Amino acid sequence: MDLTITNLTKKFDNFTAVDNINVTMTTGVYGLLGVNGAGKTTLMRMLCTLLRPTEGKITCNGKDILAMDGDYRKILGYLPQDFGFYPEFTVKDYLLYISSIKGIKPIVAKKRVRELVAKVGLQKAFNKKMKNLSGGMKRRVGIAQAMLNNPQILILDEPTAGLDPNERIRFRNLISELAEERLVLLSTHIVSDVEYIANEILLMKDGQLIHKGTVVDLINSMKEYVWVCHVEKNMVQNLSQKNKVSNIKSDVNGVELRIISKDKPVEKATRENATLEDVFLYYFGEKAGVNNGTI
């Protein structure tokens, strides 16, 4: 499986949402990482043929996906940020309904629905109405509907939005299982969603692809270092204004800061190994939430 994006651009009037992106993806998990408003959803909607590019093209195994039309959609699974459903439908009814829309024969659909419900752990909710499901359960139904046609390409837009930590972990494990024989592209602004499961991470900022590689590649691309220091509270504001601060932790004796800086920020600072969260702050700066000490 080969999905190639060439000189891809999408403009809305005078605003450029996606700006000349070039990348090739094959089998495995790709994490599309960026802050909200970076252009991730616009890119994914073009990959799903829901938007036409202003310039450039997308090819699947050398064929233009727009020219492939229905043949492309047969191998595509998509989970948008918000997917529509009839609240009175049960999980079973909803998945069978989506199967019919996708042109899956009823006898095949019934078997496939039961297999997927088991895979996403919703056997006990099989006959529950969609309106009565928790947010995490609805996201699992969303994954199941995206997988109904056993797609070779699976595109997931902010799939863990609104989920609690346990659901996020369950979701990541599920994605890892699903990615064994297909191409999975997962967009998020939550670093932990992709840190441990993505074969390659794509960093997107202001509509452009600014860097890509493994977690190790991205960490090695940083030209600044990570420091940890314990300082008095009255020093925090000054250090935060001069440096990128990825974490602030207060205690009775002062404040512990995690700082990204080429130079040693204070005399007692010690070097720490960088993480993907540090990379995120390094590339996205203020947009990553540096002011409140979070990533």
Q: Which of 253, 251, 255 is nearest to 237 (CA)?
A: 255
Residues 283 and 236 in one domain: yes
Residues 179 and 213 in one domain: yes
φ, ψ for residue 222, nearest 5 deg: -70, 135
Least confident of 106-110, 117-121, 170-174: 170-174
Residues 156 and 38 in one domain: yes
Pairing of strands 208-213, 200-205: antiparallel
Residues 20 and 105 in one domain: yes
- In three-state form (DSSP H/G/I as H, E/B as E, the rest C), the secondary structure along 133-147 is CCHHHHHHHHHHHHH
Residues 264 and 191 in one domain: no
* CATH number of the domain that residue 91 is part of: 3.40.50.300
**Distance between CA atoms of residues 171 and 197, nearest Å:** 11
Structure tokens at 95: 């998945």
Residues 243 and 106 in one domain: no
pLDDT recorded at residue 286: 59
**Distance between CA atoms of residues 112 and 96, nearest Å:** 9
Residues 29 and 50 in one domain: yes
How many independent structural domains does the chain possess? 2
Q: Dump pLDDT digits (tens) for 9-32.
A: 999 999 999 999 999 999 999 999
Q: Dump pLDDT digits (tens) for 78-101.
A: 999 888 888 999 999 999 999 999
Task: Write out the residue range of the structural domain in which residue 234 sits.
Answer: 223-292
The CA-CA-CA angle for residues 205, 35, 272, to 5°, reads 95
Place of tokens 């089998």: 27
CA distances for 161 relative to 58, 83, 193, 205, 275, angstroms: 27, 13, 10, 19, 22
